[in-house]
Amino acid sequence: MAVADVPLADTLARPLRDLRISVTDRCQFRCTYCMPREVFGRDFVFLPREQLLTFEELTRLARVFAGLGVRKLRLTGGEPLLRRDLDTLVAMLAGVRGIGDIALTTNGALLAGKAQALAAAGLRRVTVSLDSLDDTVFMALNDAGFQAARVLEAIAAAAGAGLAPVKVNMVVRRGVNEQSVLPMATHFRHSGHVLRFIEYMDVGSTNGWRLDEVVPAAEIISLIGGRWPLQPVAAAYPGEVASRYRYRDGGGEIGVIASVTQPFCRGCTRARLSADGQLYTCLFAAAGHDLRGPLRAGASDQALREQISSIWARRADRYSEQRTRQTSRTQPAEPKVEMSRIGG
């Protein structure tokens, strides 16, 4: 399929440039802000294998999305490395014309043993989640007894496989791990990796989100900048979600993702595809659009292209900009899709 000549745009003139592909809804962690164990317990029913899009189906959809302007793919979950032979999918996606970047977001538990094969298959970048270096704090957050040292080993393995610099994501939640901000910054200064702090978000409907548990990005930057002076860095590309800062002493770079206090909806170019083929146009969406049904019913590439174009052209999502008004309502907000279904 030819690369799109005229960029597809939504009702706010936002192009479609990035596609996040969830390859599984399963994860071996039970992070309290994503898959709390009281909800995702032993009896929780995950997607059966036959409902997951195959590698061939995912590659075909990636080809259609590339024809509509998508240039970047990111593999997510759940935990994407639980999907068997993921390097095979990476190699298939790397052959899609128009795709210039393939990245992966992972909790790091399986990364050390798979980084080399993934890089050889065409993976360009990796983002690893790590919410504290303090094992008491980190294990309470991941609720799986997984130690921080093993995540650090995975980061080193990824760098050794050529996936450096690694981006390290830390979700900051007041009363839980904000005391880990400076130790994390200390550890990753001069490491060559990029530490990014993420405001605690109300993704899904099960994580018990409260506005007073959000540590604003400005507070984080003030805290770190008070120890090591910082200077802003210009965005690397249009629609970059992280605000970037550089240590003035040459210690490297950090970022903050401030979806709650500094919404970036107007620059959002991301679509999200769930493991069972639902297309979501916002991280905070309440419902998706079925692509698996038409795909398996024999729809042509052109028909899929027209369906996706129609969905994106109607897109008006800007949840984070509207959050303050929505969260002040006395009535419960409409249930939202869980992050474990569509990635971060």
Q: How confident is the model at residue 277 (pLDDT cuts 50, 70, 90)?
A: very high
Percentage of residues in the chain having pLDDT higher than 70: 93
pLDDT on residue 327: 54
CATH number of 18-342: 3.20.20.70
Q: Could you give the CA distance from residue 339 to residue 76 in angstroms, rounded to a whole number?
A: 10
pLDDT reported for residue 266: 87
Tell me: pLDDT of 259 over 90: no
For the cut 90, the answer to whether the pLDDT of residue 252 exceeds it is: yes
Question: What are the residue boundaries of the structural domains of the chain, listed by start?
Answer: 18-342
pLDDT at 172 over 90: yes
pLDDT at residue 299 greater than cutoff 80: yes
pLDDT tens sequence across 58-113: 999 999 999 999 999 999 999 999 999 999 999 999 999 999 999 999 999 999 99
pTM: 0.93
Q: Exposed, middle or buried by CB within 10 Å (0-12, 13-18, 19+), for 284?
A: buried
The full DSSP string for 70-122 is --EEEEESS-GGGSTTHHHHHHHHHTSTT--EEEEEE-STTTTTTHHHHHHHT
Q: Across residues 44-61, what is the average pLDDT?
A: 97
- Residue (of 217, 222, 133) closest to 179 by Cα position: 133
Contact 222, 185 (CB under 8 A): no
pLDDT-based confidence at residue 341 (cuts at 50, 70, 90)? confident
User: Would you state the pLDDT for residue 29?
Assistant: 96
Neighbours of 105 (CB within 10 A): 21
Lowest mean pLDDT among 70-84, 166-180, 237-251, 299-313: 237-251
Report the mean per-residue pLDDT for the chain: 92
